[in-house]
Structure 1
Amino acid sequence: MALLHRADLTPTKLELLNAWLPTRDWYPGPAAPDLAKVAAFRFDDPAGEVGIETLLVRAGDGPVLQVPLTYRGAPLDGAERWLVGTTEHSVLGHRWVYDATGDPVYAATLAATILTGAGQAAEEFEVDGVRQARANDMHVTGSGHAGAVVPAVTGVLRVADTHPTRIATDALDLTVLRVLTDDPADPGDAPTLTGTWAGSPTPRLLAYAG
């Protein structure tokens, strides 16, 4: 379960991405995008320290782009390359926002979701001490099965910052699609993560292990 706060972010997530996305080699849009959010989902950090959210965004009538992010209360050592920017959260204070493909917490949760057949985290807001459920606007599913053995991911060794993005960890390799098209690369027999959202009811390939 992801516990969220009704809060203001300055700058907003989309403002950060408007500046950051054009610096990526895999980004196919305009140099000065005005991004719109398409959908989003979250994973739980078992330690409860790192926010993990994947945004689907689009610039104009361009393709849907997948941007996983992690939110931290302090800088991640050695991850300057993956820093998207910083923002002020009206409840949590200063937050460091990272491209999650370089964050080992994201890699570990992505691997566990794929291999165990899990999905996105349920989302709740806390308002005046009362928790309120928020409907997910995106649903994701791993192709694995409950009880599967998940290698312990403790570090990211290399990231090929391309489309798709390939993450080599100390336990297994992961691939994250950045540009979501109707004809993605075939992952073969690899375990996958697929997702659906409003306007895309057919499961779309998002990531796979391998």
Structure 2
Amino acid sequence: MALLHRAEIRPTKLELLTAWLPSRGWYQGDAAAEVVRVAAYRFDDPAGEVGIETLLVRAGAGPVHQVPLTYRGAPLPSADAWLIGTMEHSALGTRWVYDACADPVYAAALAEAVLADTGQAEEYFEVDGHREVRAPSMEISSDPGGIDVPAVGAVRRVVDGTLTVIVTDTVELTLLRRPDAAAGGTPNGTVATLSGAWDGVSIPLAYAALR
């Protein structure tokens, strides 16, 4: 479960992405357009230390882009190239925001979601000592096919692109940066996929694959 805070954040996630996305080779859209949120889903970090959120965003009339983020209370070692920026959170202090594809906590959570169909984390606020659940903005599911989830260790290599490949000690994950028919589909050798849909999307789209 993901505890949310009614907090002031500066700069906001979308402000960070508005500045960062045009620098990505896989980005399509007006570099001057403001990035807006379409939907989002979260995973749990079993240790409770790292926030894991995937945003579906669009800039202007451009396509929807999938951007997984991790939020950390300290820098991730050897990951400066994947740092999107820092933000000041009124409840949690300084947060380092990373493109999650290089974060081993995200890779492990994504493998669990693809192979074990663990779904997304339930989001809630604490209000006067009571839990107030926020309804999800989209749905995700997988087709694991009875495959065991291996332990995912270090991220050994990331090949960034429209199909971003995350190579770990045990599995290879592919993230579709633009989860639509134009994104190129899933790679050969795929054994399981993560799909999802939000308001206005009637057919679930592939978001990630594992081989």
- Is 1:86 aligned to residue 86 of structure 2? yes
- C-alpha RMSD of the superposition: 1.3
Q: TM-score, normalised by structure 2?
A: 0.95
The offset of 1:139, in angstroms, is 0.9
Shift of 1:185: 3.0
Equivalent residue number for residue 71 of structure 1: 71
Q: Does 1:138 align with 2:138?
A: yes
Asked if 2 retains the 8 angstrom alpha-carbon contact of 1:57 and 1:66, the reply is: yes
Aligned to 1:126: 126
Amino acid at match of 1:27: Y
Query: What secondary structure sits across from 2:209 in the alignment?
Result: strand
- Distance apart, 1:184 and its partner CA: 4.1
Using the TM superposition, give the Cα deviation of residue 154 of structure 1 relative to its aligned residue in structure 2, in angstroms: 1.6
> Which one-letter code corresponds to 2:46 in the other structure?
P
Q: Is the 8 A contact 2:51 2:70 kept in 1?
A: yes
Structure 1 unmatched runs, 5+: none
- After superposing the two structures, state which structure 1 stretch, 165-174 or 175-184, moved more: 175-184
Structure 2: 5+ residue stretches without partners: none
Q: Does the 8 A contact of 1:6 with 1:127 survive in 2?
A: no
Does 1:208 pair with 2:203?
no
Q: CA deviation at 1:180?
A: 2.3
Q: What is the SS of the residue equivalent to 2:81?
A: helix
Q: How many residues were matched structurally?
A: 209
1:184, 1:205 within 8 Å by CA — same for their partners in 2?
Answer: no
Report the counterpart of residue 9 of structure 1 in structure 2: 9
Aligned residue for 1:114? 114
CA distance in 2, matches of 1:83, 1:100: 9
Describe the shift of the 1:101–1:114 C-alpha distance in structure 2 as closer, same or farther (beyond 3 A): same
2-side partners of 1:13 and 1:30: how far apart?
18
Aligned-pair distance for 1:161?
0.9
**What whole-Å deviation, never above 9, does each CA across 1:88-118 have from its counterpart, x for those lacking one?**
0111110000000010000000001100122
Kept in 1: contact 2:125–2:134 (CA 8 A): yes
| Equivalent in the alignment of 1:196 | 197
How far off its partner does 1:33 sit? 2.5
Q: Report the Cα offset of residue 30 of structure 1.
A: 1.9
* CA distance in structure 2 between the partners assigned to 1:90 and 1:59 by the alignment: 27
1:185 matches 2:148 = no
**1:95 match:** 95
TM-score, normalisation: structure 1: 0.95
Within 2, Cα distance between the matches of 1:134 and 1:167? 30
Q: SS of 1:180's equivalent?
A: coil
